[in-house]
Amino acid sequence: MQDPKKKRYLYLMLAGFGAISLSILLFFALYRLRGIGELLQTITRILAPFIYGGVVAYLLRPVCNAFESFLTRCLPGKLKKIAPIAAVLGSLITLFLVLYALGAMIFPQVYESVVALGKTIPSRLESFIGWAETTFGENEKMDTLFDFFNTSYEKLYKQADAWIRNDLFPQITTLVTSVSSSVISLLSSLYNLVIGMIVAVYVLFSRKRFARQSTLIVRSVLNEKWASAVLEEVKLMDRMFGGFIDGKILDSLIIGVLCYLGCWILRIPNTLLISVFVGVTNIIPFFGPLIGAVPATLLILIESPIKAVWFVIFVVVLQQLDGNVIGPRILGNKIGISGFWVMFAIIFFGGIWGIMGMVIGVPLFAVIYDLVRKLVKVGLRKKDKYELWEQYTAEYPNEDLPNKPGEKAEPIDWSWEATQRRFKELLGKGRQAYADAALWCKNVWQTLKKWALAFWAWLQKIAAWFRSRFQKLTKKN
């Protein structure tokens, strides 16, 4: 077809047909949006074992690669063939040992804390009753008070009995159904987890073959330019997710150890359990230490409110140390997004996928951010306005720009003299920081002491007012 007019009409006809077809597809997609969502949920539920297995295999891949490279170097001759099998088995054994260690640390401590709470409640009630007897007297006044409690108890008992007969019994069927569905869901999750571990073993054994197959499929479908772009983006995603997750695990391990040492120095109870809480929740960026500090503070509050206050101050200091020193040293500029977008990704993806969204939301948003950055650069280059991007990078150097996929870390220029000099500088800064922290703690302690004395005086006034009102009521009776 050489006639340009016919070509133009043909292109217009194809464009109109494509626009109408896409409009119809979009209308049916919106009209059947609930059905599409249910279909996706069904597919996700069916593929849940493969999703679990893929996630476990991806997390164990660095460990498996390390084991395989080590065994390949160390095993002689024909024994090198068993290096992949031994690497997979070693990574699985490492996973089970880590899970067993966490369970052995957490569950006994939780049981002891619950038992301690159950033991402290009666003693606290007895101390309250003793305080009431000492404050209000034992004879007529306490008899009147106990009569009031007995009357209130009888009314409460009648209301509870009526609620059980009229409301609770008709809903027993619904309650049993919900409990049965919860048990079935738990068994289904355990089944998916067991099958997922089997899938993880297969994926770890065949990870290199799957990578080669995916590369062949991409290069067979797309041309060289687009295939290279897609593979480069996949490498970026792997670097984002792998580097971020590995770095956060190492960072959380360091924070857990520092938390254990700090709690041991401060003589805080349940030191091991609290350190595990803080270390595990630190995997969640930005909000992780705060999420872990809430249950830990409640556990400490049961035994010693003063130590709970010291623990909160220690967690705030530890979070600042992690956010300003440890985290940047470990993660570096692997993500390539600012703190604002980190907070946005955590809140957005956490609202969609919960805790898992908080963990994977930051690297996922970093990939989306990188795609938008590349599209902006391509658009500016097509419109001959690339100098705008150069002006932006000149005004904000290294702003929101991750390291290149092939970029290697600079070699460390180490010497004993430089190490001594840096150690002395660090020691001087540490002394100054210790003096500033001691002064700050002193000021905070004085302020808290004033607040506590004021609050105690207010409580004494309230208690005196209640005592006078109660004495007037007893005199009238």
User: What pLDDT is recorded for position 372?
Assistant: 86
Asked whether residue 92 is assigned to any structural domain, the reply reads yes
Backbone angles phi, psi at 409, to 5 degrees: -70, 145
Asked whether residue 293 is assigned to any structural domain, the reply reads no
Asked if residues 276 and 106 have their Cβ atoms less than 8 Å apart, the reply is: yes
> DSSP code of 164?
I
Asked whether residue 102 is assigned to any structural domain, the reply reads yes
Higher-confidence residue of 224 and 410: namely: 224
Q: How confident is the model over 320-378, as pLDDT tens digits?
A: 888 777 776 676 556 667 777 877 888 888 888 777 787 788 888 888 888 888 888 88
- Number of structural domains, the chain? 1
Asked whether residue 112 is assigned to any structural domain, the reply reads yes
User: What pLDDT is recorded for position 270?
Assistant: 77
Asked whether residue 262 is assigned to any structural domain, the reply reads no
Q: How confident is the model at residue 473 (pLDDT cuts 50, 70, 90)?
A: low
d(CA 283, CA 308): 23
Q: Which of 94-108, 145-159, 391-405, 429-443 has the lowest mean pLDDT?
A: 145-159
Asked whether residue 118 is assigned to any structural domain, the reply reads yes
Non-local (6+) Cβ contacts of 279 within 8 A are: 252, 253, 255, 256, 257, 259, 292
CA proximity to 322, closest of 356, 357, 289: 289
CA proximity to 282, closest of 319, 314, 310: 319
d(CA 442, CA 217): 66
Asked whether residue 460 is assigned to any structural domain, the reply reads no
Asked whether residue 195 is assigned to any structural domain, the reply reads yes
Q: How confident is the model over 123-152, as pLDDT tens digits?
A: 665 665 565 556 555 555 555 555 555 555
Number of C-beta neighbours around residue 9 at 10 A: 11
What pTM does this model have? 0.62
User: What pLDDT is recorded for position 68?
Assistant: 87
* Average pLDDT for the chain: 76
Q: How confident is the model at residue 438 (pLDDT cuts 50, 70, 90)?
A: confident
User: What pLDDT is recorded for position 4?
Assistant: 65
Token pair for 469: 């009102």
User: What pLDDT is recorded for position 168?
Assistant: 60
Matching residue, tokens 């109660």: 470
3 state DSSP class of 310: helix
Question: Per-residue pLDDT for 159 more than 80?
Answer: no
Average pLDDT over residues 296-318: 82
d(CA 330, CA 322): 10
3 state DSSP class of 399: coil
The parent domain of residue 81 ranges over 32-124+182-205
